[in-house]
Structure 1
Amino acid sequence: MRAGWWSLVATLLTLPLAARGASAQTSGYLDVDGAWVAPWEGAPNHGRALSIAPAIRRDWQRYSLSSEGAATLADPSHYYVQNLVTATRRSREWRRINFESGLLAGGLAYRGEGFRTIGAEKVPIARELFQLQARGRADVALDKWGFSLTATGGENFGGAVRQPWGVEAGMTRELGRVLLYATARADRFREYDTVLVHDVATLDSYALSATGGRAEEYRTVQPLLTMTGGGTVAMGRAELTTEFGVQQGRRMIDPARPRARKAWTELIASLAATYRIAPRILLRIGGGLYPTDYVRQLPQGKFVSVGLRLERGRRQQVDWYLPPDLPAFRIDTLPGGARAVRLRAPRALKVDISADFTDWTPVPMRRLKGGDWEAVLPIAPGTYRVSVRVDGSEWSAPPGLVGVLDEFNGEVGLVVIR
């Protein structure tokens, strides 16, 4: 249990740091969800659960550090606590390819009424786990297409699974207000089981017990293939995301014959909706089927959840979708010589602009139909530094402009007005 709690508490204590520091971008959130959860097998074990998940992320120019925690409690005998801390380094772009490397350390504590099957024995799950993992990723963007390749490898301390490693390929496609994606991941790991043989002659009874009989350790290499696909539809302040997929693998069915395995397939399906009810508050509703997590030894199940996300710090400045031929930020000249400064942010609730031409005084922009925001200002021709703030987040360069550092080590955009 200590492996999960220490890092979750660390995440909660670091959330106040989201408001500090001008030389780095910091963001964080806290998810609070109520859920109905049930194992895919054994419906009597279903029940209500409360989940609290804090997260914080700090970004520098080429580095980032994030901490994501989660604590779920259904009853005193069924809990789940984890935290993952990830350090990432981003390289410079090379031939339109961006490279990223990272190190991950995580703690996990889980106990529930799920079970694993060893031979003819159903063994209750009770796990504490500490993970160390290295990760490398390459991304390339081609117009509205995106492609990625990720490789991971590491070691687990605790539990039955050791030396997990995997490779994942992903693809995205933007279609107006719809973002489609697909991923395929291949994992491989070693599974260590200490099995007690009660009857050496027939090998017909097994258990993860430590009394009587003869203990034998079996090491098997388990392959795992996961394929998913889905899409997100953006509708103003709301988003709807759906995902479908399968997870396939082979498992040992008889400790007496470690090479004898049985193929299995599990379904993945989910539907989630979010709605921004305030600049820093999201309403979240979801449900679906989740597969077995064999690396962390968590059983498959189904769920329905509703909750809130409370945000702090910087969030996405504009939506990932844009109408055709309409830049996210532009300045138009109006009759009479005034300039109309426009920013596209359909899901924003408040937008401010600050620049050389406002003497760095924040100016509120007004919402237009179609998701644009506008400020009409008298601006003479010249080169200016510009910064925008969406929903009270940190100031940043408008999308589409060249970003530079100002004297306060913050980011502003350069724009030329003729």
Structure 2
Amino acid sequence: MHHLGAQLIASANRTFYDAVNQNEQIEARARVHLVFSQQGGLWLESGVARPWRVAVVSSVDVAGAGAWAQVGGATLTGSYTNFAFTRLASATDSTGTLQSCTAQNDNSSCLRQSHFSDVQGSVHWEKAFLELSAQTGYRFGNASDVTPDSRRWASASALIWFASGAALVVGGGRQPSNPARGLPARNYANLGVMFAAWPSPTAGAVPIEARASAIGKFDIAGAGASLERLQVHIPGVQSVEVMGDFTDWQPVELVQRGRDLWEALLPIGPGVHQLNVRVDGGKWLPPPDTPTMRDGFNGEVGVLVMPH
């Protein structure tokens, strides 16, 4: 089954490296994505970013495309992103030769159109309490826009879930420069603890293999009085749970109504909702045949649209 969806993404952030390399940025993007039976998908996106306290004198136009696919237990992703903006630059190079400028700002500086493109590939693999990710990229652009130390980069990270809702994060690699924000390329390493807003992929201290992929059918229908009847068809299991924004991300156990039928009555209002399903205390996964989106913890949630 194919699904066509759209997303609007907005963010605001501040970056601080040192007293010189620090600034703020707001950004907004729109994305249209096509999902192929939960095994792969394509997306197109376009947006705009506006940095402050940098030599960029225009908004940054962002456009890109990408694709992802499930291969075995791994998710492979590839993307192409183009950045275009106007920046303040020196009117001459190191030898005193005049540079090509879009417009002259004063005797020593001018406005110059800049653009570059990033091609990135990544792989994400997870099993039980362990998640591994790696990515690499290459940047295309003129020498005036792309420094040699930002042509190529790579990084890797690992998450180890040691408790429900808490994981150890370790990673490192190289990050390319951000010309639009005046931030240099750098090597980095990180070590920390991440806290999830809902239970982790583990069930207590002992990892349990996910069985949600064995769900044969997922249904939802009106049950009157602002309630919806949620049904899951899956044989040979001991428990089925659901959680979503309509349960405040608290697990709710479904009641077994037959050999392979589980159901619950839940108050689900009109609009777009997010949810996941868990079988026998295993991993939280999107219900089958529902659109999905990435959550804030490098995982996926199902998307449920309830009509008004």
Q: Same fold (TM over 0.5)?
A: yes
**1:304 maps to what in 2?**
189
Distance 2:60 2:8 in 1: 17
| Residue number among 20, 30, 37 corresponding to 1:136 in the alignment | 30
| 1:103–1:288 CA distance, 2 compared to 1 (3 A) | closer
Deviation larger for 261-270 or 173-182: 261-270
Distance 1:283 1:175 in 2: 26
1:154-204 alpha-carbon deviations (Å, 9 max, x no partner): 43332102321121111100023111110111111111136799xxxx848
Distance 1:326 1:300 in 2: 45
CA contact (8 A) 2:74 2:124 kept: yes
| 1:234–1:378 CA distance, 2 compared to 1 (3 A) | same
**1:180 maps to what in 2?**
76
TM-score by length of 1: 0.48
| 1:311–1:249 CA distance, 2 compared to 1 (3 A) | same
Matched letter for residue 192 of structure 2: G
1:205-257 alpha-carbon deviations (Å, 9 max, x no partner): xxxxxxxxx853311111111111121111211011111111232244xxxxx
Distance 2:61 2:188 in 1: 28
**Aligned ranges 1:208-219 → 2 under 5 Å:** 215-219=107-111
Count of matched residue positions in the alignment of Structure 1 and Structure 2: 240
**1:191 maps to what in 2?**
87
CA contact (8 A) 2:235 2:259 kept: no
**1:158 maps to what in 2?**
53
**Percent identity between the two aligned chains:** 16
3-state SS in 2 of match to 1:96: strand
Distance 1:139 1:237 in 2: 29
Distance 1:314 1:323 in 2: 16
Matched letter for residue 183 of structure 1: S
Distance 1:315 1:262 in 2: 40
Distance apart, 1:149 and its partner CA: 0.9
CA contact (8 A) 2:43 2:65 kept: yes
CA contact (8 A) 1:176 1:322 kept: no
Distance 1:229 1:136 in 2: 21
TM-score by length of 2: 0.62
**1:146 maps to what in 2?**
41
**Aligned ranges 1:20-169 → 2 under 5 Å:** 96-111=3-18, 126-143=20-37, 144-161=39-56, 162-169=58-65
Distance apart, 1:341 and its partner CA: 3.9
CA contact (8 A) 1:353 1:389 kept: no
1:27-81 alpha-carbon deviations (Å, 9 max, x no partner): xxxxxxxxxxxxxxxxxxxxxxxxxxxxxxxxxxxxxxxxxxxxxxxxxxxxxxx
3-state SS in 1 of match to 2:142: strand
CA contact (8 A) 2:75 2:124 kept: yes
How large is the RMSD of aligned CA atoms in angstroms?
4.3
3-state SS in 1 of match to 2:151: strand
1:106-149 alpha-carbon deviations (Å, 9 max, x no partner): 4444426xxxxxxxxxxxxx255343433211011012111111
Deviation larger for 146-155 or 304-313: 304-313
CA contact (8 A) 1:176 1:323 kept: no
The yes-or-no answer on 1:233 pairing with 2:125 is: yes
Distance 1:193 1:216 in 2: 9
| 1:167–1:313 CA distance, 2 compared to 1 (3 A) | same
Matched letter for residue 97 of structure 1: L
Matched letter for residue 149 of structure 1: L
Unaligned stretches of 5+ residues in structure 2? 98-105, 204-208, 219-231, 243-249, 267-275, 279-283, 291-303
| 1:127–1:195 CA distance, 2 compared to 1 (3 A) | farther
Distance 2:26 2:215 in 1: 42
Distance 1:270 1:97 in 2: 31
| 1:166–1:251 CA distance, 2 compared to 1 (3 A) | same
CA contact (8 A) 2:132 2:159 kept: yes
Distance 2:212 2:277 in 1: 24
CA contact (8 A) 2:215 2:233 kept: no
Distance 1:275 1:164 in 2: 36
3-state SS in 1 of match to 2:119: strand
Distance apart, 1:378 and its partner CA: 7.0
| Residue number among 283, 293, 298 corresponding to 2:178 in the alignment | 293
The yes-or-no answer on 1:326 pairing with 2:214 is: yes
Distance 2:196 2:79 in 1: 28
Distance apart, 1:314 and its partner CA: 7.0
**1:270 maps to what in 2?**
155
Matched letter for residue 31 of structure 2: R
Distance apart, 1:324 and its partner CA: 11
CA contact (8 A) 2:161 2:202 kept: no
Matched letter for residue 327 of structure 1: I
Unaligned stretches of 5+ residues in structure 1? 1-94, 113-125, 205-213, 253-260, 345-350, 358-376, 391-395, 403-412, 414-418
1:265-289 alpha-carbon deviations (Å, 9 max, x no partner): 5211011111100011111111111
